[in-house]
Amino acid sequence: MGADEGNGLNPTVDFVAGTIAGMASLVVGFPFDTVKVRFQNPEISSRYRSTFQAITTIVREERFIGLYKGITSPLATVALMNGLVFASYRFLLKLQLPTPETVPTITQIALAGAGCGIISSIITTPTELIKIRQQSQLTQTTARQVAFQIFREAGVRGLYRGITATALRDCGYGAYFAAYEATCRYFSSPITTPNSSTVIAQLENEYTSLSWPALLLAGGVAGIAGWVATFPLDVVKTRMQGSHPILTPSPSPPGVTAPLLKPSDMKDSNPYRSVSSTILNSYREEGIKVFFRGLSPTLIRAIPVNMVTFAVFEAVVHLLS
């Protein structure tokens, strides 16, 4: 235990715990994530009728490894992404508190969570773009092949296709952390007064009285809350990132012929080119229900994944503190 025992965890502990928890949750939930992406992609969604049928179809046609198609890119960046999420959450929460001993409100926790989600989109956007492109293809491709193809076609900007939708969706971390904290406080001992947020407090502190079932339940509630709050934006993000730009010539300047046009002279006519165009075109063609397509496998996935995330995070914190 360090000298700053009462002021939360060492940032290194945050980083290591977040990384290990992220790896564990990724392995547990990735098959359901693949099913979700298949449901949300308009080019292939008609092949699947239910979560179970989608899983069996993928296994039959692409073998079991097909359920883990695209896992390379998030696995490679899980240390950065999850470490950044927990560390930035801790930092943004502290910014709102007048003293380290101040008990954060649920609103402050939600704001810190939303902020760390926006920050994490810097890493999440290219990672999920590559993942989604792999998951949407019925043939095997590597993360490197997909990344090089995107970079060759559109440069660095192409790797950040859908960053606005990603940042908006990842504001759901606000609901995620707030729900976890609220659930933990509900199950904590009524005679115990918390002096800091559970995610950044020592386990020996106010939540030693919490049982593992309570911690696991809190993780499951957090996962469901985070997804329900922003799922329509996840559909928008997947559609944007799963589609390719459709470049058409802009009106040519006088004396300039089409073969001489540069990429900068081309206009993207893809209906999923922006957040607003994706929302409008999706609603016009498929109605309001399209924004909840893939919700079932996501909620099924959210419970075990987020139970594992917080359970592993808390366990690693306990071991390293």
Taking residues 193-197, report their average pLDDT: 51
pLDDT at 76 over 70: yes
- Model confidence at 82: pLDDT above 90: no
> 234-257 pLDDT, tens per residue?
999 999 999 887 666 656 555 555
pLDDT at residue number 259: 56
The closest alpha carbon to 181, from 91, 90, 96, belongs to 90
Question: For the residues 151-169, what does the mean pLDDT come to?
Answer: 95
Q: What CA–CA distance (Å, rounded) separates 17 from 15?
A: 6
Query: Can you give the pLDDT at residue 261?
Result: 52
Residue 124 pLDDT > 50 = yes
Most confident of 3-17, 35-49, 189-203: 35-49
pLDDT for 83: 73
0.85 exceeded by pTM: no
- Give the CB-side neighbour count of residue 21, counting CA atoms within 13 A: 28
Q: What is the mean pLDDT of residues 13-23?
A: 82
Distances in Å between the Cα of 197 and the Cα atoms of 77, 88, 180, 253 are 26, 14, 10, 60
Domains of the chain by start residue, with CATH: 5-320 (1.50.40.10)
pLDDT (mean) for 16-33: 89
Closest CA to 241 of 22, 37, 32: 37
Distance CA 70, CA 277 (A): 27
Q: What is the DSSP string of 117-185?
A: HHHHHHHHHHHHHHHHHHHH-SS---HHHHHHHHHHHHHHHHHTTTHHHHHHHHTTHHHHHHHHHHHHH
- For residue 26, CA distances in Å to 74, 176, 202 come to 8, 17, 25
Of 132 and 14, the structure prediction assigns the larger pLDDT to 132
pLDDT at position 307 is 81
pLDDT mean across residues, the chain: 84
Quick check: 7 pLDDT over 50?
A: no
pLDDT band at 27 (very low <50, low <70, confident <90, very high): very high
Closest CA to 128 of 143, 141, 139: 143
What digits encode the pLDDT tens for the residues 94-108? 999 998 888 899 999
Task: Determine the average pLDDT of the residues in 153-176.
Answer: 95
DSSP reduced 3-state for 249: strand
pLDDT tens for 128-150 read 999 999 999 888 789 999 999 99
Per DSSP (E only), the strands in the chain are: 247-249, 266-268
First vs last C-alpha separation in the chain: 6
The answer to whether the beta carbons of residues 166 and 125 sit under 8 Å apart is yes
